[in-house]
């Protein structure tokens, strides 16, 4: 949403990832083509700040990919906290699980494999913090499923809500779905929301 020069400047003035996550990035770059799916330093640090400031000790992440955001959030959670991370792709699972097991906060992270729309209902309890970064076509279904599971004053963060700017005049199926979700969130009187032009768009949703 901003020029590459500005984004690079912002990244260079943002705290670096810890060594384990830097190693994860190196492995992902070696083994995967679509590493742009990783949240990245700006989103990662924002997630960490939000989790740490809110004191969230029950987190649900929908869309693990290689585990970057899960590790980032788990690091700043309270010691007794628990983070459930949902993933479907077994290739991504192998990388994520390897780095989860290497981390000193592995006991906080529970990797849930399968189609998230089917596995989420089986995860017990509600959550203080939810991060949604999964298949975009199902974003509205995820929102309907997840919002009732968010505690009062809890925070949901939805990634890619500007979809490269296409939501302004949506033509593709994914941009139309995301634009529709943005409208739903805007009109939902049970929440307060903030859409930030960070990276590919990040919507913060607070349950009243």
Output the domain CATH number for residue 20. 3.40.50.150
Residue range 27-53: mean pLDDT, rounded: 92
165 token code pair = 């700017």
Predicted pLDDT at 59 = 98
Q: How does the average pLDDT of the chain come out, rounded?
A: 96
Give ∠ CA 108-112-115 in degrees, rounded to 5: 155
131 token code pair = 């991060």
Question: How many domains is the chain partitioned into structurally?
Answer: 1
Give ∠ CA 186-187-192 in degrees, rounded to 5: 55
Tell me which range, 1-5, 36-40, 87-91, is most confidently predicted by mean pLDDT.
Answer: 87-91
What's the pTM value of the predicted model, to 2 decimals? 0.95
Predicted pLDDT at 112 = 98
Q: How far apart are CA 103 and CA 89, in angstroms?
A: 21
Per-residue pLDDT of 139-153, as tens digits, reads: 999 999 999 999 999
pLDDT band at 1 (very low <50, low <70, confident <90, very high): confident
34 token code pair = 């679509």
Reduced to 3 states (helix: H, G, I; strand: E, B; else coil), residue 179 is helix
pLDDT-wise least confident of 30-39, 76-85, 175-184 = 30-39
Range(s) of the domain holding residue 113: 4-207
Q: Examine the pLDDT at 36 and tell me if it is beyond 90.
A: no
């Amino acid at each position: 949403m901003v020029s590459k020069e500005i984004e690079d400047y912002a990244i260079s003035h943002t705290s670096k990832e810890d060594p384990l996550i830097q190693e994860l990035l190196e492995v992902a770059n070696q083994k995967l083509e679509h590493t742009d799916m990783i949240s990245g330093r700006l989103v990662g640090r924002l997630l960490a700040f939000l989790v740490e400031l809110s004191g969230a000790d029950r987190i649900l992440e929908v869309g693990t990919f290689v585990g970057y955001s899960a590790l980032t959030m788990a690091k700043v959670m309270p010691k007794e906290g628990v983070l459930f991370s949902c993933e479907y792709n077994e290739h991504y699972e192998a990388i994520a699980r390897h780095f989860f097991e290497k981390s000193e906060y592995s006991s906080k992270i529970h990797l849930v494999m399968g189609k998230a729309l089917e596995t989420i209902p089986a995860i017990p309890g509600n959550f203080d913090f939810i991060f949604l970064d999964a298949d975009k076509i199902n974003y509205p279904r995820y929102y309907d499923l997840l919002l009732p599971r968010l505690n009062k004053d809890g925070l949901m963060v939805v990634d890619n809500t500007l979809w490269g700017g296409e939501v302004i005049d949506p033509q593709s199926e994914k941009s139309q779905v995301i634009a529709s979700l943005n409208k739903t969130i805007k009109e939902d009187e049970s929440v307060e929301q903030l859409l930030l032009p960070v990276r590919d768009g990040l919507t913060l949703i607070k349950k009243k």
